[in-house]
């Protein structure tokens, strides 16, 4: 996580705290106001919690319905973010399931008319209020809900419309009259402050839930510390790093007790002093039965309250294990690539100089010279293959499509050629090629298919340092119209937990026996890309200590059913 990300989390925390403080202050102000209703004790009640609000509002809406002689009573609040009017529970005479997720435009319709004008409205038929038809409303009365702030002399200094109060379906088939407007408007004036107070509770809870959801779901570790040094927040990711005992609660404890790593302690102390600090730490994390060592980048900064005074510090822990591993792998790759390219070059140089030392062609027999030239040719082919692999990897890494030169390819013949060349590199291994006679040619890029099989056979030999049999099997499955190729060895095998990473960039097996085996960690990644370029798939099965089997398949008709000779750019 970058410094900008840390600053963003810090800013979000400070903004949330400021909004919370502002809401709390407004709530305190509302609770201190004297709310008195016209004969209804419910509208003047001081609400101190959401459950009390629901109970108070239930009594209030029942009283409204009784006084207006209505079958139904409900209220709506205005959502400023979406500019919509929302129906909310509770309601009188309307089941809760009819209220959920109902949103009405605050710009058109009878409800919008009342909300925008601030004038009550009586309507006498369903066609006048189609947006209320889902509630079974035949006629009704709508009045605005306005929150007013007054000075010490009772003068209104601020007025804000927060929603609507509605009654529907006059009892005994009657219609709502002017006296109903008078009664409902009086009740609405007294109820508006309570409704605004309740909405304030809801906003606080929504903000709190959003903050907690974000805080809890962050993949990075996040810790907040107060100015006195006590831990105020620690999310699950950070808890997994530092508090691996589920019975221990880090919140409320001094951070010097929670964190034993002196680098973490020093970085937090610097942040509390107003210094922006960053460091790298190594931590051992237990995941089930598995324990692994991770590298984390820690960034910490001071956070401020509403009046910009420091209130603590926030620390972010980002897992950079893979980044550091990639850096080490790149270094190993450069060393291995240089080594692999130097070996064939040394052979080319050595035998070329040997031939040049005999200009009269009388030092070596014709057979010797042919052997030397054969070694030079094979070394050139090997070097060209490695350079081709590097160029393919560079193209893939840059997001560029590889050239595809499609033709009819007999995979069994390619497998025989690959084995013929590879077996000259060893005297410890035996090779077996099993190719079904009914395997048809596939449409593919012959050079790339050769590189796929060459890499898999070469790996099978390298990772079987004690020798053994290498079996290449080529089969055709008519029902799938695919050719399947598998390369099986009797070598070191791969630990189960490392199998998912085998086709990753710079991936090398980390296990006993693999330490001195050279390689770039790019071969299998390139093989996977070349197989998928042909619209095929590759997989690996292995047991550590018992060898591995790599299997891939290619569609007989080729990628996208292209015609032979097609070049794809």
Please write the tens of the pLDDT for every residue from 304-322.
Answer: 876 778 888 888 888 887 7
Q: How does pLDDT run across 446-470, given as a tens digit for each residue?
A: 989 998 998 899 889 988 888 999 9
Tell me: do 91 and 238 sit in the same domain. Answer: no
CA distance linking residue 479 with residue 519, whole number of Å: 38
Is residue 18 assigned to a domain? no
Domain range for 105 is 33-214
Of 275, 302, 319, the one marking the end of a domain is: 319
Tell me: do 252 and 357 sit in the same domain. Answer: no
User: Which residues pair with residue 538 across a beta bridge?
Assistant: 552
CA distance linking residue 255 with residue 225, whole number of Å: 7
* Contacts for 400 with CB less than 8 Å, ≥ 6 apart: none
Tell me: do 179 and 260 sit in the same domain. Answer: no
Strands in 221-226's sheet, in edge-to-edge order, are 231-234, 221-226, 310-319, 290-304, 277-287
Q: Looking at per-residue confidence, does 204 or 280 come out higher?
A: 280
Is residue 354 assigned to a domain? yes
- Residue 540, CA distances (Å) to 17, 503, 543 in order: 52, 9, 10
Short-list 375, 492, 517, 391, CA closest to 448: 391
Verdict on whether the full-model pTM lies above 0.85: no
Tell me: do 486 and 460 sit in the same domain. Answer: yes
The predicted pLDDT at position 333 comes to: 62
Is 354's pLDDT higher than 80? yes
Short-list 34, 233, 270, CA closest to 152: 34
Phi, psi of 157 (to 5 degrees): -110, -10
Is residue 374 assigned to a domain? yes
Is 93's pLDDT higher than 70? yes
- Number of domains, the chain: 4
Is residue 392 assigned to a domain? yes
Is residue 83 assigned to a domain? yes
CB-CB contact of 297 with 324 (8 Å) = no
Is residue 28 assigned to a domain? no
Of 296, 319, 342, the one marking the end of a domain is: 319
CA distance linking residue 505 with residue 460, whole number of Å: 19
Q: Looking at per-residue confidence, does 566 or 470 come out higher?
A: 470
SS (H, E, C) 173-201: HCCCCHHHHHHHHHHHHHHHHHHHHHHHH
CATH of the domain at 315: 3.30.450.20
Tell me: do 132 and 247 sit in the same domain. Answer: no
Tell me: do 246 and 181 sit in the same domain. Answer: no
Tell me: do 362 and 409 sit in the same domain. Answer: no
CATH of the domain at 340: 1.10.287.130
Is residue 7 assigned to a domain? no
Of 260, 295, 319, the one marking the end of a domain is: 319
Short-list 326, 241, 318, CA closest to 280: 318
What's the length of the chain? 569
Tell me: do 461 and 557 sit in the same domain. Answer: yes
Sign of CA dihedral 87, 88, 89, 90: negative
CA distance linking residue 184 with residue 178, whole number of Å: 10
Winning range, highest mean pLDDT, from 116-130, 141-155, 244-258, 371-385: 116-130
Is residue 24 assigned to a domain? no
């Amino acid at each position: 996580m970058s410094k900008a990300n840390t600053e963003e989390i810090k800013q979000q925390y400070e903004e949330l705290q400021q909004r919370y403080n502002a809401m709390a202050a407004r709530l305190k102000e509302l609770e201190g106001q004297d709310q008195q209703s016209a004969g209804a004790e419910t509208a003047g009640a001081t609400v101190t919690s959401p459950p009390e609000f629901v109970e108070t509002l239930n009594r209030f809406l029942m009283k409204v319905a009784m006084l207006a002689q209505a079958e139904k009573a409900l209220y709506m609040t205005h959502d400023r973010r979406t500019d919509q009017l929302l129906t909310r529970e509770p309601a009188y005479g309307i089941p809760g399931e009819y209220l959920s997720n109902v949103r009405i435009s605050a710009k058109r319709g009878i409800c919008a008319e009342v909300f925008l004008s601030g004038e009550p409205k009586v309507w006498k038929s369903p066609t006048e209020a189609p947006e209320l038809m889902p509630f079974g409303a035949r006629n009704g009365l709508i009045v605005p809900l306005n929150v007013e702030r007054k000075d010490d002399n009772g003068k209104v200094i601020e007025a804000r419309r927060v929603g609507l109060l509605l009654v529907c379906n006059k009892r005994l088939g009657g219609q709502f009259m002017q006296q109903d407007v008078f009664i409902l408007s009086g009740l609405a004036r007294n109820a508006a402050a309570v409704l605004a107070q309740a909405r304030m509770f809801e906003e606080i809870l929504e903000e709190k839930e959003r903050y907690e959801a974000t805080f809890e779901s962050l993949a990075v570790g996040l810790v907040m510390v107060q100015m006195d040094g006590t831990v105020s927040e620690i999310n699950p990711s950070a808890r997994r790093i530092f508090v691996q005992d589920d019975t221990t609660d880090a919140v409320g404890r001094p951070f010097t007790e929670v964190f034993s790593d002196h680098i973490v302690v020093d970085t937090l102390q610097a942040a509390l002093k107003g210094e922006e600090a960053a460091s790298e730490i190594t931590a051992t994390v237990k995941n089930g039965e598995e324990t692994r060592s991770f590298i984390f980048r820690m960034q910490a900064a001071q956070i401020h309250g509403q009046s910009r005074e420091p209130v603590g510090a926030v620390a972010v822990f980002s897992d950079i294990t893979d980044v550091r591993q990639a850096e080490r792998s790149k270094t190993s790759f450069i060393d291995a690539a240089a080594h692999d390219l130097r070996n064939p070059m040394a052979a080319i140089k050595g035998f070329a100089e040997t031939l040049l030392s005999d200009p009269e062609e009388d030092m070596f027999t014709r057979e010797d010279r042919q052997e030397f030239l054969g070694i030079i040719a094979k070394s050139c082919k090997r070097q060209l293959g490695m350079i081709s692999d590097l160029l393919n990897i560079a193209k893939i890494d840059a997001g560029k499509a590889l050239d595809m030169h499609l033709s009819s390819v007999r995979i069994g013949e390619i497998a025989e050629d690959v084995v013929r060349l590879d077996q000259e590199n060893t005297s410890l291994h035996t090779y077996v090629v099993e190719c079904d006679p009914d395997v048809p040619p596939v449409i593919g890029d012959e050079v790339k298919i050769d590189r796929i099989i060459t890499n898999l056979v070469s790996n099978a030999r390298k990772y079987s340092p004690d020798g053994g049999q290498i079996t290449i099997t080529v089969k055709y499955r008519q029902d799938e119209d695919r050719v399947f190729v598998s390369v099986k060895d009797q070598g070191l095998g791969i630990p189960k937990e490392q199998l998912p990473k085998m086709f990753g960039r710079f991936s090398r097996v980390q296990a006993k026996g693999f330490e001195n085996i050279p390689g770039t960690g790019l071969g299998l990644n390139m093989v996977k890309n070349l197989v998928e370029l042909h619209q095929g798939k590759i997989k690996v099965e292995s047991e550590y200590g018992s060898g591995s089997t790599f299997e891939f398949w290619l569609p007989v008709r080729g990628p996208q059913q292209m015609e032979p000779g097609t070049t794809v750019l």
